[in-house]
């Protein structure tokens, strides 16, 4: 994915790797409601796992994976538009795409959370069979409104030390995008249910 217009901030893309960016306006409130309603009806929810398996000291959430279908093709089209624009403007990674999205629920009754982790798999020869290329760019789309639909559930990133924690302002319809090696977490949800859509965009190993 390469930017093809004349005005494309080449120095910014060449010199700066941002720990995260936010992207607003790709999905309207009504479209977020539609995605959420579809996923609540059509998801085969399972407990979220980590690369090491199920560990509720690290992750407490329910997830379901959705591949492309005619019914939700518009979601993939809008995601593709966002991924292309974000990567071309800020990252310039060599990307091959993604094969679906993960729908995630963090339930306040279970104190749903996901502690510090990275999305990129750093293997020691034990690469899971579903990891076929390197996760390079992660995106999280929040489907409901913090402070109204749920409490807690902050999205935080760590850029290199314990004191470098950043809390990203979440809002319904906002996409948070970041390199998949950046360590991040969702703090415990204390009330309601936090709903989100997550995508990992893959490509060849970094060279």
In a domain, 11, yes or no: no
CA nearest neighbour of 119 among 46, 59, 42: 59
Asked whether residue 8 is assigned to any structural domain, the reply reads no
65: left (phi over 0), alpha (psi -120 to 50) or beta: beta
* CA distance linking residue 177 with residue 12, whole number of Å: 17
Asked whether the beta carbons of 61 and 47 are under 8 A apart, the reply is: yes
Render pLDDT for 128-145 as a digit per residue (tens, 0 to 9).
666 678 999 999 999 999
Quick check: is 2 in a domain? no
- Tell whether 154 is covered by a domain: yes
The 10s digit of each residue's pLDDT in 149-196 is 999 999 999 988 777 899 999 999 999 999 999 999 999 999 999 999
Alpha carbons 60 and 53: distance in angstroms, whole number: 12
The answer to whether position 22 is within a domain reads yes
CB count, 10 Å around CB of 196? 24
Domain count, the chain: 1
Residue 159 domain flag: yes
* pLDDT tops 50 at residue 1: no
CATH code for the domain of 183: 2.60.120.620
Alpha-carbon dihedral angle through residues 147, 150, 151, 156, given to the nearest 10 degrees = -90
Looking at residue 129, what is its pLDDT? 67
| Listed residue (190, 66, 57) closest to 114, CA to CA | 57
| Selection from 113, 116, 122, 106 nearest residue 184 by Cα | 116
Q: How much is the pTM?
A: 0.90
- Residue 10 domain flag: no
What is the span of the domain harbouring residue 42?
18-203
């Amino acid at each position: 994915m390469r930017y093809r217009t004349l005005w494309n901030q080449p120095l910014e893309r060449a010199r700066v790797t941002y720990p995260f960016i936010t992207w607003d306006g790709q999905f309207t409130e009504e479209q977020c409601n539609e995605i959420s309603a579809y996923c609540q009806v059509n998801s085969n929810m399972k407990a979220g796992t980590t690369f090491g398996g199920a560990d509720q000291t690290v992750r407490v959430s329910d997830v379901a994976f959705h591949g492309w279908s005619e019914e939700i093709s518009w979601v993939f089209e809008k995601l593709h538009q966002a991924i292309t624009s974000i990567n071309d403007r800020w990252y310039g990674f060599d990307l091959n795409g993604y094969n679906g999205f993960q729908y995630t629920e963090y339930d306040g009754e279970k104190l749903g959370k996901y502690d510090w982790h990275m999305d990129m798999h750093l293997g020691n020869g034990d690469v899971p069979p579903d990891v076929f290329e390197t996760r390079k760019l992660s995106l999280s789309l929040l489907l409901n409104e913090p402070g109204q639909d749920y409490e807690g559930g902050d999205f935080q990133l760590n850029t290199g030390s314990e004191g470098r924690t950043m809390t990203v302002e979440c809002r319904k319809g906002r996409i948070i995008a970041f390199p998949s090696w950046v360590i991040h977490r969702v703090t415990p949800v204390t009330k309601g249910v936090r709903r989100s859509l997550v995508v990992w965009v893959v490509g060849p190993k970094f060279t």
